[in-house]
Structure formats: C-alpha cells, structure tokens
C-alpha cells in the first residue's frame, strides 16, 4: 500500500522509533461491505507504516510479549487469526497479556461477548480487567469471589482497574490495592491502554515481579501513573506519556 504525502509525513516525523519492533497486527472489520471499510483502511495504513519502518509480522516468535483484546475476536476471520497468533506466541514462550475491553454494542448479544472474553481469558498469563468487566464475566459483584472463580493455572497476575481509585492486584499468593493519582481529567480515552503499557513495561523488565509484593506494587503504581497521565490530554495514542514524563510525574508524588 502506498502512503499519502500526509501519512508519509506523519511516519517520518513521528517521535516513536519502531526500528527494532517485531509485532503482529490483528484487526477486524465490523460491517460487511464491498467497499474498503474505515477499519480495514486503518489496518492497511498501519501495516504500511510498520513495513516502511522495518517491521515484519513474521517475527512474532522473536517478540517478548503478545497483548490482545476481545475486539479482534468479534468476527470469525479476525477471531481465528487472533487465536492462532496467541497459539504461536504461547508456543514460543512469550508473555501473553489480555484485556477484555468489553464493548457490548459491538457484539450480537451479551452471551457472545462473554464467551469470547472467556476464550481469551483462559490463554493469558497477565490480565487487566475493570471492575465492571469482571462482574460481567463472573456474574458476581464480589470481586474476591470473581477472581477466585475465574483464576486458572496459567494466570500469573490479575489486575483489576478501579478508575481514579487505582487498581487491585491478585496472584496465587498476593492480594492488595494500589491507590491511583488525582489529576485534572480531560479525556479518559486510552487510559486502560496506557495502564497496560505501563504494566507490561515493568513485567518485561522484571518477569518474576508477580512473586514479590513490594516489586509488584511498584509496577502497579507506575501503571496507575501512565493511565492517569493519559487522561490529562485528548486522544488515545497522542495522550500516552513517555517514560521520562512518567518518571517526572512520579518524582513529584508523595
């Protein structure tokens, strides 16, 4: 696919460096149409940008982590591709991260959404879920009971996000809460994605942090900070803070 002059300018002037990134891009089209959908168009542009920056999707096995959500599980074609990608990643020993990211309006019904969430949930080592999503999936408002009900042997850490209140972490041996940060909220879009990015950054640097409560709490605090800072600007991707911005923010906190 050929990039437009504007897209090429965005690629060449971006502050992000993808030269050493190896990734697999999975997306889906939500409506049947003989014409190129907005979703597919964005996917093609994204793939073209990645290819121009030296990214080859065939390198999935050389990645360190694979993160996915339920949006890519809505249509059959995308679901098959996503689950196959997860299978390859698991076989290669990658850290598998899952975010249910429930959007009921995109699903035929609640049961279809719950089934898809369960299929992704069972494959993950790390799961970030909101209180509302956990209640929806477990069908109980008791968070502790929900965590016990949905725990599986391959799961290393379950993080339950609680908005500005922070998050709760659950492992085989640990259970606790890390408070969030009080910031001036402009737009909450992307806050969950930012949280996951911050969490995975820490877990990739410290793969066994889920076994040490002090280190796990530090990782959760960092993830809370990334999520909080993301809400202070408009947009999803543009609002994501840099590592330097997160460290500067944390240095000013008590």
Catalytic (active site) residue 193: yes
Which one of 17, 56, 187, 193 is the catalytic residue?
193
20, 56 Cβ separation under 8 angstroms: no
Residue 141: Cβ-neighbour burial (10 angstroms; 0-12, 13-18, 19+):
exposed
Dihedrals φ, ψ of 37, to 5°? Answer: -80, 165
What long-range pairs does 87-94 form, CB within 8 A, spacing at least 24? 88/60, 88/61, 89/60, 89/61, 89/63, 90/123, 92/60, 92/61, 94/60, 94/61, 94/63, 94/64, 94/65, 94/66
Dihedral angle of Cα 177, 159, 197, 133, to the nearest 10 degrees: -120
CB atoms within 10 A of CB 100: 27
Distances (CA, A) of 221 to 61, 88, 124, 210, 246: 30, 31, 22, 14, 11
d(CA 36, CA 42): 10
Tokens coding 18: 């993808």
82, 68 Cβ separation under 8 angstroms: yes
Which residues are identified as catalytic? 193
């Amino acid at each position: 696919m050929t990039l437009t002059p504007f897209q090429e300018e965005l690629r060449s002037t971006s502050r992000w460096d993808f030269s050493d990134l190896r990734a697999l891009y999975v997306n889906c089209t939500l409506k049947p149409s003989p014409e190129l959908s907005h979703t597919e168009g964005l996917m093609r542009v994204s793939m073209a940008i990645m290819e121009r920056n030296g990214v080859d999707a065939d390198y999935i096995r050389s990645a360190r982590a694979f993160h996915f959500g339920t949006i890519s599980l809505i249509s059959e074609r995308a679901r098959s591709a996503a689950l196959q990608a997860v299978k390859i990643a698991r076989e290669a020993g990658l850290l598998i991260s899952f975010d249910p990211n429930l959007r009921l309006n995109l699903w035929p019904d609640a049961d279809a959404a719950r089934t898809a969430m369960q299929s992704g949930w069972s494959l993950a080592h790390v799961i970030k879920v909101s209180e509302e999503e956990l209640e929806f999936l477990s069908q109980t408002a008791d968070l502790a009971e929900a965590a016990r009900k949905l725990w599986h042997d391959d799961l290393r850490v379950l993080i339950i996000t609680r908005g500005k209140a922070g998050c709760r972490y659950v492992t085989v041996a640990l259970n606790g809460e890390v408070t969030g940060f009080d910031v001036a909220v402009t737009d909450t879009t992307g806050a969950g994605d930012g949280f996951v990015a911050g969490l995975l950054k820490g877990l990739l640097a410290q793969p066994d942090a889920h076994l040490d409560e002090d280190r796990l709490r530090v990782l959760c605090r960092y993830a809370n900070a990334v999520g909080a800072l993301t809400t202070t600007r408009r947009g999803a991707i543009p609002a994501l803070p840099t590592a330097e911005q997160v460290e500067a923010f944390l240095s000013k906190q008590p």
